[in-house]
Amino acid sequence: MRGSDLCLANARLVLADAEMTGAVTIENGVITDIIEGDRIPTGAEDCNGDLVIPGLVELHTDNVERHIEPRPKVDWPHLPALIAHDAELAGAGITTVFDAMRVGSIHAGDKGRYTEYARKLADELLAARAQGYFKISHFLHLRAEICSETLLEELAAFSAQDRVGIVSLMDHTPGQRQFRNMTSLKNYVAKKRGMNDAEFEEHVENLLRLQKQFGAKHEQGAVKEAKRLGAVLASHDDTTAEHVTTSAAHGVNFAEFPTTTEAAQACSDQGIAVMMGAPNLIRGGSHSGNVAAEVLAQRDLLDIASSDYVPSALLLAAFRLARIWDDLPRAIATVTHNPAQAARLTDRGTLEVGQRGDVLRVKLLPEVPLLRGVWSQGHKVS
């Protein structure tokens, strides 16, 4: 075996629909061989029975925003923020990420303002990617905020050359979808932005005005822009069967965080993949009071897990699902193969010859999975 090659041997390989003891070899960043048995070839890494699984694929994470704004109104230099974000994800076993960035600003108000940042941040991310600064694979995910003032202008600043992977339709109008419960909305927004009662009421009134003025126009426009960019379209916080019917008519490929069993069932009926938050699964429920991810998993209505706002939750969620389903390959697919397929990435997400050499070595402790190694295209990154 050449010095630049990688062989992980005497491992419990988690394949698409089975597990086996074997070895996986990666050459020039690609899986070239998978063999069964506990033989350890010369130069191979002895995994001592640890699991080897594909690298995790993350479709929706707010983590990059947390790094560029670690506290409200605290701006952090973007390049070091991006590098730190990349390293954090690599350390959590995520080898492919779609970095979520808000498009759609709100200039009115004070504490309810959202300023434009996505185009500049995307330029910096793409430049860093081109320079080889990142450990893992990064793509763009534009969160199209319907309830805003400048959505279409901001989307128009992107082109097919940016390789935008996902455009998701966000409508955070108070009193519906994620924030049907106004108390939950107030607890979330007022605490995050330090609003008093009067400021919160002003914020709500402003959002309702924006939705009335721009909602329909922005929704239709964002769907058209996603097609122009060649991006996968995702819905967000579908709550009713009617929401899902609209999503299907738009050509939505996967649904982010449906808030009710009704919506998740409608997605399944329409052939739309259902994505739920790993933190919801780990905590045992939604922080907004919506449907619990475990309920959907028990009803076979969960296809994809997302770390959302806790990168380390993604791997943990996969093993929680394995216990719920008593099916490790199926559970691992929710964080590898299924998200890759939803994002139209056919070169990763499974341990197969010809796939990218993105793999994890995991020791399964009694309570948690322990990452022992992370490789991106055969290069160890954590």
Cα dihedral value 319, 320, 324, 330, nearest 10 = -40
Q: Which helix (H) or strand (E) holds 329?
A: helix 328-333
* Secondary structure (3-state) at 183: helix
The pLDDT value given to residue 3? 46
The pLDDT value given to residue 207? 72
Pairwise CA distance, residues 233 & 255, whole Å: 9
Q: Are 274 and 303 in contact (CB under 8 A)?
A: yes
The pLDDT value given to residue 186? 59
Pick the CATH number of 1-54+349-382 from 1.10.10.10, 2.30.40.10, 2.40.50.100, 3.40.50.720: 2.30.40.10
Q: Are 93 and 360 in contact (CB under 8 A)?
A: yes
Residue spans of the domains in the chain: they are: 1-54+349-382, 56-347
Residues near 187 by Cβ (< 8 Å), separated by ≥ 6?
none
For domain 56-347, the question of CATH label 3.20.20.140 is answered with yes
Task: Count the neighbouring beta carbons within 10 Å of the beta carbon of residue 73.
Answer: 9
Which pLDDT tens digits describe the chain residue by residue (382 residues)?
454 699 999 999 999 999 999 999 999 999 999 999 999 999 999 999 999 999 999 999 999 999 999 987 789 999 999 999 999 999 999 999 999 999 987 765 554 456 789 999 999 999 999 999 999 999 999 999 988 888 999 999 999 999 999 999 988 666 566 666 556 665 666 666 667 777 777 767 777 777 777 778 899 999 999 999 999 999 999 999 999 999 999 999 999 999 999 999 999 999 999 999 999 999 998 877 789 999 999 999 999 999 999 999 999 999 999 999 999 999 999 999 999 999 999 999 999 999 999 999 999 998 899 999 999 999 999 9
